[in-house]
Structure 1
Amino acid sequence: MRPLLFAIIMVIAISCSQQKNDYQQVLHDPVLYSKVTGLLTEVITYDIFTPPVASRIYAYAHLAAYETMARGDSSYTSLKGQLKDFAGVPAPDAGKAIDYRYAALMSFMEVGRTLTFSKDMTDKIVDSLQALALDHGMPAEIKQNSEAYGIAVAKAVLGWSKKDNYAETRSAAKYTVPTDEGKWVPTPPGYFQAVEPAWRTIRTIALDSSNQFPPPPPCAFGKDPACSFYKITKEVQDTVSNLTEEQKAIASFWDCNGFKLNVVGHTMYATKAMTPGGHWMGITGIICKNQQADFNKTVYTYTTVSFALMDAFIACWDAKFTFNLIRPETVINKYIDANWKPFLQTPPFPEYTSGHSIISTAAATVLEHIYGKQTPFRDSTERAWGFADRSFETPRQAADEAGMSRFYGGIHYRSSVIVAREQGINVGNYVLSKLQMKKGQLASK
């Protein structure tokens, strides 16, 4: 088990050796929900899920928690009939006492356990939550009813998840790398095949289609030093060759490379890190805590952010595999400087548009709608990977920095970052306007 995962589980399970009668205080703590989300991030990282697949896991796990929570809080509305072909979740049996917040935790983890690989890790998380309920005095009948209902909701959500075309993408025909000049090809050092080339066929959460907010075509490829494409490529080369220490820190902080292939001499080894979506799950927890959101609002926030992340990845991947634009590293090495290297490792999929920029902006748009634009926070999500905290005055400021980090890293053209930012705003606002989750909710602007 990862040391951090074990440490967090021990924090959750602390004080279980002494019988208490404060289960509501313990299990209804919104910070607990954030900790459990963090534990799922640990599992997703350990299992090396790609960023798009990770976003799918978060979306369905939080949906299950949300639907469970909403059954116990009339101020929140079920998404039955709002999500494509989502028939809702079963009603609880009449007369049975249920702790809906504890049930939401169980529902969240049942989906997370089912959609990930490391069952030993997820089982330990569930065991620690059950121990909390038992050792803090939850009556046996309520505990049993709550666990059973949480699992029933999870099964309904999992049933819906099976219809999103994910299974079909696992067996989709192998992606054929384009041979046209200016199109994406695998990049060093691993020369991996394209990640999730069929992801645009995944059913969206709120968007009407994967290309509902299509970006304009990218700058036309060209090798002449006088043409626009050469100039935006040279800008990447020159920027990376003259990075400030602050720009290096920004690029490294937001790298979020789930499987980085390190090369030392003739030796190669891989290291893992959380996905970009996992980073924004961490930010969501920080903001919820800072804003003193209660348990239910915390679940609502995570769910809405996770929906924006999943739809943003689908929209981004639609653009990537529509245009199949070549990466700066390939252009520079082939036509300008064969020895040039980007500051960050180029990820294995087409360049246009920037995934970090669209998903970060979509998430920030949701967070600012819920908590206000002036929502300062200190981002500590990267401590486990040895990076210092970074402070932001607004979620949008963080999203803008995340997007520019890819330009500083030498893996995106500046224009791809800017265009993706607009995509992210559109996706975030559409999720907010399409899904009415909170009674009295104001439409997004």
Structure 2
Amino acid sequence: MHRHMRQYISIILLISALLFACSAAQADAVTDWNRIAGDAVVNAGLGPLPADRVLAIASTAVYEATNAITQRYPVSDLELKAVSDASVDAAIAAANRRVLAELVPSQQAVIIAAYQAALAKIPDSSMKAGGITAGEEAARLILAMRANDGSEADEQYRPYTTPGSYVPTVIPEAPYWGGMQPWLMTGADQFRPGPPPALTSERWARDYDEVKNLGGKNSTHRTIEQTDIARFWEEVMPPIYHGIVRSVAESPGREVTQNARLFAAVTQATNDALIAVFDAKYHYNFWRPVTAIRNGDTDGNEATQRDSSWLPYIETPMHPEYPCAHCIVSGTVGAILQAEIGSRPAPILTTTSQAAGGLVRSWRTVDDFTREVIDARIYDGVHYRNSGEIGSAMGKQIANLAIMKYLQPE
């Protein structure tokens, strides 16, 4: 009963969002459906990695369908027939409906309601029908292209132990994700970084002390502002980044195909970023701060002092530390947005964190945003600064592939 009531409320809210989307300064069908898709993957309970994949498939299908109609850009992964006499809004709705209904079936009622509300605003005509056909076809082809991308590979993680010795029995997250087929990279290890700092190095001791002091559960060194930042970036679902992308997409003077292209570039690149970072994580299998600090007397470095009861501010993610996943994603998003903004004045970048109870944060520059993410994971107590900087640099390399593919000057 309660589940059906929640679903009913979700349908009403989504229809309202579609009907009154014009209240957002420059919202269009791309950004409206991006919100709907983001809500769908969150409400379905998908993890951040599968959710990011769904949004990449949906965004790519939207771009392909939209561009087949407007024919604004030469870039395409498909051989769609040009259909200039078709409704772009109908195509965007149809592409999203097809992808989301197939990949997020638990949210089908909400998705169908949003789809019907979107189509109700478009007069019945051959253009409407043509748009629906274009969206359906783009979605069908992209779904087929990604059907065997490795996202459903068997999990075969082998715990590190010696015969007879107990180790925690929770299997870590997505050890197979680095084996997925990339969108842009030649392979998951294309940008695999060198190893983390040697445990006997000065850099290791410096990073160790920083996270030990600022990232502890009961740290007296972390400020209130730093704690707010830590809590904000505890959020791991893709919509926290998509809100920042919409800050650019909803700027004055934007056009719907331009926004479809931007979201395709961002989501393909972030999907690749997660493939790359999980490849590196399980390649190096580097210890998290909670493990390192409780074993600080075993690393061979006299400058690291053990704390036998140290805990991080947030719960440690269940995968190896190096490099930082949040940082590779933020580096990717930031570099693409910087390329899209170019020399024009940057809009205020804003997004919301559900992990922080709906708190909103804003940044004046892309660099402010990406630096904050690196800092946040230290304040959270789950990453070292070197890992954040390396992750961000990897993200920029992957972003460059998307920029070269999608964002060349018109």
Tell me if both proteins adopt one fold, taking TM over 0.5 as the criterion: yes
TM range (shorter): 0.7 to 0.9
Check the 8 A contact 1:30/1:294 in 2, yes or no: no
Say which of 250, 271, 274 aligns to 1:289. Answer: 250
**1:113 match:** 101
SS in 2 for 1:343: coil
What is the match of residue 9 of structure 1?
14
Q: Following TM superposition, by how much is the alpha carbon of 1:296 offset from its aligned partner in structure 2, in angstroms?
A: 1.5
Cα shift readout 1:230-286 (whole Å, capped 9, x = no counterpart): 5532321112221101111111111114xxxxxxxxxxxxxxxxx1x2211121112
Q: Would the aligned equivalents of 2:374 and 2:385 in 1 still touch at CA under 8 Å? A: no
2:352–2:359 contact (8 Å) kept in structure 1: no
- Deviation of the 1:13 alpha carbon: 5.2
Q: 1:346 aligns with which of 316, 330, 348?
A: 316
Aligned residue among 279, 284, 287 for 1:323: 284
| Partner SS for 1:391 | strand
Query: 1:379 touches 1:389 (CA, 8 Å); kept in 2?
Result: yes
Q: Name the aligned partner's letter for residue 149 of structure 2.
A: D
* Residues in 1 aligned to 2:244 and 2:32: alpha-carbon distance in whole angstroms: 12
Paired residues of 1:383 and 1:389 also in contact (CA < 8 A):
no
From 35, 41, 44, the counterpart of 2:41: 44
Deviation at 1:353, TM superposition (A): 0.1
Percentage identity across paired residues of the two chains? 23
Q: Are 1:71 and 2:49 matched, yes or no?
A: no
Q: Which moved more, 1:144-153 or 1:211-220?
A: 144-153
Conservation of the 8 A alpha-carbon contact between 1:65 and 1:108: yes
Instruction: Output aligned runs, 1:25-424, within 5 Å.
Output: 30-80=27-77, 88-91=78-81, 97-118=85-106, 121-134=107-120, 136=121, 138-167=123-152, 169=153, 171-172=154-155, 174-179=156-161, 192-221=170-199, 229-240=204-215, 241=219, 242-257=221-236, 275=237, 277-335=238-296, 336-372=306-342, 374-382=345-353, 385-424=356-395
1:361 maps to amino acid: G
Structure 1 residue 361, shift from structure 2 partner: 0.8
Whether contact under 8 Å (2:231, 2:355) holds in the other structure is: no
Specify the SS of the correspondent of 1:232: helix
Alpha-carbon contact 1:247-1:408 (below 8 Å) kept: yes
Question: Once the two structures are superposed, what CA deviation does each residue of 1:30-49 show, in whole Å capped at 9, x if it has no partner?
Answer: 43422221121112112222
CA contact (8 A) 1:379 1:391 kept: yes
Structure 1 match to 2:300: none
Q: Identify if the C-alpha distance between structure 1 residues 364 and 334 changes in structure 2 by more than 3 Å, giving closer, same or farther.
A: same
What does the per-residue CA deviation read over 1:47-97, in whole Å, with 9 as the maximum and x for residues that have no partner? 2222222221111111100110111122212423xxxxxxx14426x8x95
Structure 1 residues 141, 31: closer, same or farther in 2, change over 3 A? closer
Point out the more displaced range, 320-329 or 400-409: 400-409
Conserved 8 A contact 2:210-2:378: no
C-alpha RMSD of matched pairs (Å): 2.7
What TM-score do you get using the length of structure 1 for normalisation?
A: 0.79
Query: Does the CA contact (< 8 Å) of 1:77 and 1:437 recur in 2?
Result: no
Distance across 2 between alignment mates of 1:238 and 1:298:
42
Partner Cα distance (1:76, 1:192) in 2: 47
User: Matched residues in 2 for 1:291 and 1:416: separation?
Assistant: 37
| Inter-partner Cα distance in structure 2 for 1:387 and 1:216 | 37
> What's the offset of the Cα at 1:115?
1.5
Preserved contact between residue 89 and residue 156 of structure 1 (Cα < 8 Å): no
Change (3 A) 1:200 1:400: same
- Cα distance in 2 for partners of 1:346, 1:105 equals 38
CA distance in 2, matches of 1:437, 1:331: 42
Equivalent-residue separation in structure 1 for 2:356 and 2:372 (angstroms)? 19
Q: Measure, in 2, the Cα distance between the counterparts of 1:36 and 1:299.
A: 11
- Residue 30 of structure 1 contacts residue 298 of structure 1 at CA under 8 Å; is this kept in 2? no
- Structure 1 position 105, deviation (Å): 2.3
Residues matched between the structures, number? 384
Q: What residue ranges of structure 1 are gaps of 5+ in the alignment?
A: 16-24, 81-87, 258-274
- 2:214, 2:379 within 8 Å by CA — same for their partners in 1? yes
| Partner Cα separation in structure 2 for residue 400 and residue 310 of structure 1 | 21
SS at match of 2:362: strand
Are 1:305 and 1:363, in contact at CA under 8 Å, matched by a contact in 2? yes
Change (3 A) 1:239 1:436: closer
Distance 2:336 2:315 in 1: 29
In 1, the alpha carbon distance for the partners of 2:206 and 2:374 equals 20
Query: In the aligned structure 1, how far is the partner of 2:342 from the partner of 2:7?
Result: 36
Cα–Cα, structure 1 residues 436 and 232, in superposed 2: closer, same or farther, change >3 Å?
A: closer
Give the secondary-structure state (helix, strand or coil) at the position aligned to 2:286.
coil
- Per the TM alignment, residue 2 of structure 1 is displaced from its structure 2 partner at its CA by 6.1
Paired with 1:315 and 1:13, the residues of 2 have a C-alpha distance of 35
Q: Give, in angstroms, the shift of residue 425 of structure 1.
A: 1.2
Find the residue that maps to 2:287 and give its secondary structure.
coil
Task: Report the CA distance shift for 1:292/1:249 in structure 2 as closer, same or farther (over 3 A).
Answer: farther
Give yes or no for contact 1:100–1:146 (8 Å, CA) kept in 2. Answer: yes
**Which residue identity is paired with 2:231?**
S
